[in-house]
A and B are shown apart, each in its own frame.
Chain A
Amino acid sequence: MTRKSFSPENLVKELKHDSKSLGLPENSTNLIVARVLESVLTWLENRDIITTSDLERVVGCELEKYSSDLAFVYQNRNKII
């Protein structure tokens, strides 16, 4: 098991990449990413330690509100092969 600190930059980069690949407009992407990041940071406020699967679940749930395709791709990105 490895420990690493949460990086909002990486999350934003990953979501923007997936979003571009799915062909979502840039304006919508920026809006979705900002809202998801805000929710995730709020969720993180009272937590010292989280697991990767917790983070993925929360990000996935937030993404589901705005784009089901983006949420699906984010949740399944390591389950394709």
Chain B
Amino acid sequence: MSSFVSLGIVLLSGLILASLQAPLASFLLLYHSSFGKNIKKKTKSLASSYVSGVAVMVFLLLATSVFLISALSFSGSLSLVSLVVLFGVLLALSLLSLCFYYKFGRSTELWLPRKVSKFISSRARATSDNSEAFALGMFVTFCDLLFSFPLFILSANAILSLSSPYQVLALAGFTILSCLPLVILRLAIRKGKNLADVQRWRLKNKNFFRFFSGLGFLVLAVFLFAFLVIGDKI
């Protein structure tokens, strides 16, 4: 696998991960709830802790995937059979994210079971400490794992084919890319946007996000098939 193909997979996976909405929705709830009861400084500090929690969890999941692949496979990368399975999973996720990532109706409710989404909402409302916000960020990232797990595995496999200095850069790049929407949202709120503005924007662009992540999974599946499954045979 060439470095360009590996970097392409890492970038595309990072972008798809960034398009998943659970961390963004939870961040919005946390910000809104904290703004209503705390001073601005406290809210900013909670928001920073939350983003750090998400970033650390993404980094840890990716690093764990890298470790697992290098430790469990003989060649230090995924076998052809595993890649074909991943191709199938990505195709299925493409369809799932198009049809089921958002619940139907005029809301931005996600696929998460009602108990989990209620738990996240109640935690976001009750959070008053930096460590709680950090843990919430980690938990929400973990909750989206059904959709993000193949992205971590595929990126980890791509990262393993890079040389050592680039591996660290790719790990950092993936983490930064996946946290970018949270940083942008934070900047938007700092510039005066409130929950109503952001939620209206999310509602208006819900179908675009759905389409983007669905197409992203599909493109990644085709990319994987073309460069790693067929490309490996040629």
List A residues at the B interface (Cβ < 8 Å).
Answer: 17-23, 68-70, 72-73, 76, 78-81
What number of residue pairs across chains A and B have CB atoms under 8 A from each other?
57
For chain B, what secondary structure do more than half of its interface residues adopt (helix, strand, loop), or is it mixed?
helix
B165 contacts partner chain A, Cβ-Cβ < 8 Å = no
For chain A, what secondary structure do more than half of its interface residues adopt (helix, strand, loop), or is it mixed?
helix
A20 and B26 contact, Cβ closer than 8 Å, known pairs A73-B195, A78-B121, A80-B199: no
Residues of B with C-beta under 8 A to A70: 196
Residues of A with C-beta under 8 A to B121: 78, 80-81
Which residues of chain B (218-234) have a CB below 8 Å from chain A? none
Per CB-CB distance, the 8 closest pairs between chain A and chain B, nearest first, are A79-B107, A21-B36, A17-B36, A69-B196, A81-B25, A21-B35, A72-B196, A20-B36
Task: Kindly provide the distance from the CB of B224 to the nearest chain A CB, expressed in whole angstroms.
Answer: 30
Residues of A with C-beta under 8 A to B127: none
**A7 and B117 alpha carbons, distance in the complex (Å):** 25
Task: Kindly provide the distance from the CB of A60 to the nearest chain B CB, expressed in whole angstroms.
Answer: 13
Q: Is the interface on chain B under 10, 10 to 19, 20 to 34, or 35 or more residues?
A: 20 to 34
Q: Are B35 and A81 in contact (CB under 8 A)?
A: no
Which residues of chain B (71-124) have a CB below 8 Å from chain A? 107-110, 112, 117, 120-121
A81 and B110 contact, Cβ closer than 8 Å, known pairs A20-B35, A21-B33, A21-B36: yes
**A18 and B195 alpha carbons, distance in the complex (Å):** 9
Residues of A with C-beta under 8 A to B120: 81
- Provide the B137-175 mask, 1 if CB < 8 A to any CB of A, else 0: 000000000000000000000000000000000000000
Residues of A with C-beta under 8 A to B190: none
Could you show 17 A-B contacts with beta carbons less than 8 Å apart?
A17-B33, A18-B32, A20-B35, A21-B32, A21-B33, A21-B194, A21-B195, A70-B196, A73-B32, A73-B199, A76-B107, A76-B203, A80-B25, A80-B28, A80-B109, A80-B121, A81-B112
Q: Are B194 and A80 in contact (CB under 8 A)?
A: no
